[in-house]
Structure 1
Amino acid sequence: MKREPAVAGYFYPERKDELYSLLSSFAVPEEHISGSVIGAIVPHAGIIYSGRTAMYSYRAIEKSIIRDFIIIGPNHRPITPYASLYPEGKWSTPLGDAIINERMAEELYRNSDYIVKDEESHRMEHSVEVQIPFLQYMFGEAFRFVPVILGDQEMEIARNIGEALLRISDPFIFIASSDFTHYESAKTVEKKDMDLISAIKTLDLDKFYSVLEEENVTACGYGAIASLMYYTRKRGGQMIFLNHSNSGDVTGDYSEVVGYGSLVSVVP
C-alpha cells in the first residue's frame, strides 16, 4: 500500500530540488539540550511559513539515535471520532518513499480502544504528511514512522493514547503535529500562544484544557499535544520551549496570522 502526497505543490514544493533547497534554508541555532529527546511539538502549516520554527525541534531530534517516530496530528476533516491509524505500506513525497513501521503500528492499535485502522481518513489530511519531508531531509531512508490522526481530541482520548504509547516495546520519538492560534492579530496570537505554552510546560492536562477553553486558543492539534504532555509526565520528563513565530514573519502582514510553536520533550 502506497500513499501518494496530498499537499505537494501546496504546503511544500512538489519538485525534489526545490523542497530540499527550502528545507536547507532554515538555518537555526543549535540548542544545548540536557537529556534525551522523546518527543516534540511541531507545526504543520505551509513549510514556507512554519518550517523554520519546525526545524528547531527537528535539529534537536537529529541528535538522537532513535529512528522510529510516531506522528500524531489532527484530522481537519473528521469522519470518525476515533484516532485513525494508517497501518502499513509507504508514504511518498518528492524526497522519496517513507516506510511505516508496521509492527509498531500494530502494537499501538492493540494498545488502545480508541484507535482504528483507517487509511481513507489520511488520504487528504496534511498534518502528518508535512512532517515527512523534514524526517527525510534529516535521515534519508533510515527511519520508520507510524501515522495517526485524531477525530475527537478530548482529554479522555488524549490520556488513553498516552497510555497506549507507554506500552510500546521499542524506543520511538513522539511527534505531536499542531499549529497554534489561528487568524488573529500577531499581538493576540503571541499572548494566547505563550499562555498555552506555559500550560504545556506544566504537564497539567486540566490546566492545558482550561487555557484552551477560557482563552479560545484555536490550536488544531491540541489532542496530540495533550497526549505528549501525558506521555512526558509519565516518563518523568519535561517540555522545553524552543521557538515561536507566526505567519506574519514571512508575509509581513501582522493583522491576521497563525501562530507556530516548537517544543521538545526530554527525559534525564
Structure 2
Amino acid sequence: MNLRKSVFSGSWYPADARACEDQIKDFLEEGKDRSTSLPGPVGGIVPHAGWYFSGSIACNVIHQVAKATTPDVVVVFGMHMHSSSPRVIMPEGEWETPFGPLAVETALADEITRQYDFQLESPTRFNQDNTIELQMPFIRYFFKDVKVVAMGVPPTQETLALAESVVEISRNLNLSIAVIGSTDLTHYGPNYGFTSKGHGAKAVDWVRNENDRSVIDAMIRMDAQAVLREGQKKSNACCCGAAAAAITAGRALGAEKAEELIYATSYDKSPGDSFVGYVGILF
C-alpha cells in the first residue's frame, strides 16, 4: 500500500529492468558525443514523451546531473497545469520503477506542504501523470541511494516563490538537492488543434526555428519569468510552470549559466502533420 504503481511502464518505457537498462545504455551511446562546459550542473529541464521519442534526451540530461552531484534528494517539477490548477504532491510513500522503488523524502515534503497548500496524493490515489513518472527510472538508475520529492506546479508567480522555498527548506534540513523540470515544447498539428502555420516542411521549420527556439532561448538565459510568458502566450512549453520552477530553484542553488544539450522533435522519428518538440537543458 506504500508503493505508487507505475502506470506507463510496459508502454511508454520498458517494464523489465534488463530491457530498461539496455535502453538506457543505448541512450548513453547516442549521447556520448554530447558534453557540457558547465563545471557542475545542479539540475536541468527534460522532456516526457514515450522513451522512443524523447527518452534519450531526458536520459542524457539526468546522467550529466548525476555525474556532477550526489544529492540526498532529486526534486522533480512537472504535470500539465494551467494557472488556476492546484499544486499537487505525494508527500509520502514510494514510486515504483523497473529498478526498484524510489522513496519520497518525507521531511522535505512535510515542510513544503506545511508552508504551501497542495492537493495531496497517496500511493493508491493519484493522477495518472507521465511528466514525472517517465523520469523516475532514470533517477533510480543514476542516483543509487537518492530520495525524491515530485510535485505538480502551475504557471504562476507563486510557483517561483515555492521553488526558492524548496531550496531554502532543503538547506535548513541539511539536505542537498538536484532539480529537474519536466516539459515538452510545441505540440503542433491537427491532433493538438494548432495549425496556424499550415502543414509540411514550413510548419516544421517554424516550430523548430521560431516557436520552440523562443522558449529555449529563455531557458538558456535562465529567465523564469520569460519561460512562463512564452508557454502561456505561444504554447511552446506544455509545462512551463515546471520548467520555470526548475530554473528558479537552479538559480537558488547557485547556477548562473544554462546550456542546451539536445533538441529534437517527434517529426524526426515519425514524420507527420502532428508533432512535438523536445529539449534537454542543463544548468
What range describes the TM-score normalised by the shorter chain of this pair?
A: 0.7 to 0.9
The residue number in structure 2 matching 1:175 is: 180
By how many angstroms is 1:231 displaced?
Answer: 2.5
Which of 84, 90, 94 aligns to 1:86? It is 90
Cα distance, 1:93–1:231 mapped onto 2, change above 3 Å: closer
Given that 1:84 and 1:121 are in contact with CA atoms closer than 8 Å, whether structure 2 keeps it comes out as no
Which of 180, 188, 204 aligns to 1:186? It is 204
The residue number in structure 2 matching 1:231 is: 249
The residue number in structure 2 matching 1:71 is: 76
What is the percent sequence identity of the aligned residues?
Answer: 23
Which of 54, 59, 65 aligns to 2:58? It is 54
* Number of residue pairs matched by the alignment: 257
Given that 2:186 and 2:211 are in contact with CA atoms closer than 8 Å, whether structure 1 keeps it comes out as yes
Which of 237, 243, 264 aligns to 1:219? It is 237
- Under a length normalisation based on structure 2, what TM-score does the superposition of the two structures give? 0.82
The residue number in structure 2 matching 1:12 is: 13
CA distances 1:121-140 after superposition (whole Å, capped 9, x unpaired):
73411211100111122234
Cα distance, 1:65–1:139 mapped onto 2, change above 3 Å: closer
More strand by share: 1
The residue number in structure 1 matching 2:159 is: 158
User: Match of 1:260, SS?
Assistant: strand
User: Match of 2:43, SS?
Assistant: strand
Measure, in 1, the Cα distance between the counterparts of 2:227 and 2:14: 35
Cα distance, 1:210–1:75 mapped onto 2, change above 3 Å: closer
Measure, in 1, the Cα distance between the counterparts of 2:26 and 2:264: 16
Measure, in 2, the Cα distance between the counterparts of 1:263 and 1:235: 16
By how many angstroms is 1:2 displaced?
Answer: 1.1
Measure, in 1, the Cα distance between the counterparts of 2:46 and 2:95: 19
- Under a length normalisation based on structure 1, what TM-score does the superposition of the two structures give? 0.86
By how many angstroms is 1:41 displaced?
Answer: 0.2
Structure 2's unaligned 5+ residue stretches are 190-202
